[in-house]
Structures are given as structure tokens and as C-alpha cells.
Amino acid sequence: MGVLTPRPRTRTSGTRALQRVFGVLAVTGVCLACAPTALAAPAPPNRPEPEFGLSSSSECVFGGNIIKSTPWSLQRVLLDQLREQATGKGVTVAVIDTGVDDSNDQLRGAMAPGGKDYVGKSKDGTEDVEGHGTRVAGIIAARAIKDTGFAGIAPKAKILSLRYTGAEDKQGDSGTMSAAISDAVAKGAKIINISSDTAKKQDNTKLRNTVAAAVSEGVLIVAASGNDGADGKSENTYPASYPGVLAVAASDRNDERAFFSQAGKFVDIAAPGVGMVSTVPQGGQCTADGTSFAAPYVAGVAALLKEKHPTWTASQITTRLQETAIRPGRGPNRYLGWGVVDPVAALSDESTPGTRPKEDPPVKAGAGEVIPMAVTMGETEAEQERRVAMYVMGTGLLLVFVAGGSGVAVRDWRKKRTRQSR
């Protein structure tokens, strides 16, 4: 296992569509150089890079500014109602990542003893030169402080930092990740968050066996599904695809799959993963995109359930999260799993869950049954291409009409001037 290298960016389908349409318009005589700037080919959308560190789409600066407003990922939740039921107190979540910088005011009181560094010299896992692990930890358990609306979803949970990768001169692999998982179990963590995957999405026997051992001990492992889903193809990632692991996709503000979120039958649930505000090393906050930041959102809600129902097993917590999630159909799909996590619904349901989620029953209406129709999982690449082409073609035709109308007006004006001069 290692750090994935960024892919070179390629032209998007929207850009290709623009180029094709521009070629058609050029034949009709439309002067594209004279067109409004809105006709320029759009910049490719920001895609979270599959690496540990700051993605090119983020605004992260270490020692960053305080973001005063409440982020949308928390606005979607009735926080007062949620906090009345649980805050994560007494629950430890192991964050297996690039380390967690506890110098940030919102994390200083959140760290559990016993952290470890497998690749650097921090000993307790509280050094983070990448910033990835610090952001992950903040989404789970950042403490509420003055002058910001951001806090972790479980603001009184504890974070056990296990730095398996991300040192200045050394990166981790399947060996350091496996060691971190084993240590998390030994130190008593009942929830583990892993916001990374193996290089080239490769299965690994040692990692698989370590995960299986942790699951058999009743530990809930929450893992990011991955950020290579722009093409919509299903592809397994690890450790998210291992049995017993809760695989998390990223959703947007509309509760639809974020375009980059990896799809596949292994996806169990989704959570906000776009424009995610969180903590950064040396203080302050930033925003970033990725399934890396959707997974800790779910891990935080799991911590709330563990506080409220300490005797529940990992499979019961998973079932409750899945059955109460917001979904377009009766059951799961390969984009969102069982749907987008609903923290308040998960905490408010007082029934005891089973160990496997069940599909919603059909809605009865009179003598028949009405089965909810699944909505689209966000715009596909083909749909985007057609939409962009239609926009540009419409604008191009408008320019043709404007140019034609202007030509007629100039011709009539010249004729009028000629008659007046006679």
C-alpha cells in the first residue's frame, strides 16, 4: 500500500462538446472570438486528488482562518435535537491516517492517550505535515469554540491518532496500516476510521486478514470508498470492500452522489463529501472535497449511536445507519449504498435494529401498491455533454440571429442615408 500519485488532468466531456459545437458554429460564420466570455470552454471541475495531502480543489492553508458560518453539512441536521440525544462522550474513534495535529484549538481536548506514529518521530501520532488526518479528525470530534459554526458531528468523542503514513521522508503501506488496525483494537477503540485505500486498488492478504480479525472483535471499521468514480464505473477499493467494513461514498447538497465518488456494489452508505469544512494543522479551518471527509462524518454518527446504545454491536449500528438513511428507492444502489446518512433519524429511532438492513416496504395506496421511483444519482458524463452542447448551441444560434438582425439594420440604415442624400 502506498500513496496514490495524481493523474494528469484531461479534457472534460464538456470541453469536448464545446469544441465540437464551436466547429459547427464556425461553419455558420459566427465569430466566436467576439462572443461573450460565457462561451469560453469551462475549466474542468475540481477533482479531489487520490493522495494524502492538500487536494488541488481545497483552500487549505496551515494556520488557516476561522470560518464563522455553519457549514452546510451541519445545517442539514437539527443539531440541537441531535446534541440532546448524544455527543459522543465516552467513545473513542481511532483515526488511521497522516496524523492529527493537536495544536488546533478545536482538537486540543479531543485526543485520547496512546496514539502512535509508524512512519515519523512524533511517537503519539500528533504530527501531521499533510493535513489530511487533522481534517478527518475534525469532522468526527472537533470541539465547539467561539466565533465558528463548525464543530465535529460527535464533539465530545475522543480521537486515537494512529499515523500510518504521511511523514516527510516516509510513506506507509499495507504493513503500517495493518499494524495500526491491530493496535487500535488492542487499545480498545470500537470505531476505526480509514480515509484511504491501497495503491492501484489492490487487495492485500495481510490487510484483509487484519481487518477480518478486527471485525471479529466487534470493531466497526468505517472506510472511504475512493475518489475515482467520475466515469461511473464500479470498481472495488480496499479496505472499503472487505467484508464487515462500512464503505462510505460522498454525497452533495442535493443528497446525490458527488461526481467523483467511487461507485460499486460494496458501497454501503453515503455522507456529505463536498465543500467540507474542517480543522487544519497549526489552527484554523479549510474546505475540501472527497470521500475521505464523508467517511468520518459517518464515523461520528456511529460514535453518537455507540454512546446512546453502548451494548449494540457493530452490525447493529451499521444497520441503524443504513435503514434510516435518505435514499431514492426502497433499497440500496451502487452509488449511495443504502442512502445518505441521517444523524437525527438514526438517533431518534428507539427500536432495536437487526444485524442486516431491510428494504422499505412498498407504499400502499388503495388496492394497489406504489413503489417509490428511484431518482437519478447526479448528472452523468453523457448528460453533462448534452447539456453543455445545448447551452452553447442555443447561445450560438442567438448570436447568429443577432448578427443577422444587425446586418439587416445596417443595410436599412445605409439605404435610408442614400435616399436622404439624393
- The whole-angstrom separation of Cα 416 and Cα 419 is 5
Identified catalytic residue from 58, 195, 292, 315: 292
Q: Where are the alpha helices (DSSP H) in 111-216?
A: 132-141, 174-186, 205-216
Active site (annotated) includes residue 178? no
CA distances from 165 to 3, 70, 193 (A): 8, 31, 14
Active site (annotated) includes residue 132? yes
CA distances from 206 to 183, 310, 312 (A): 15, 30, 28
CA distances from 83 to 9, 89, 109 (A): 42, 11, 18
Peptide bond into 155 cis (omega under 30): no
- The whole-angstrom separation of Cα 41 and Cα 18 is 6
Identified catalytic residue from 55, 57, 73, 97: 97
- The whole-angstrom separation of Cα 12 and Cα 122 is 42
Active site (annotated) includes residue 251? no
How do beta strands 92-97 and 158-163 pair? parallel
Rg (alpha carbons) of the chain, rounded to whole number: 25
Identified catalytic residue from 73, 101, 132, 278: 132
Q: Which residues are catalytic?
A: 97, 132, 292
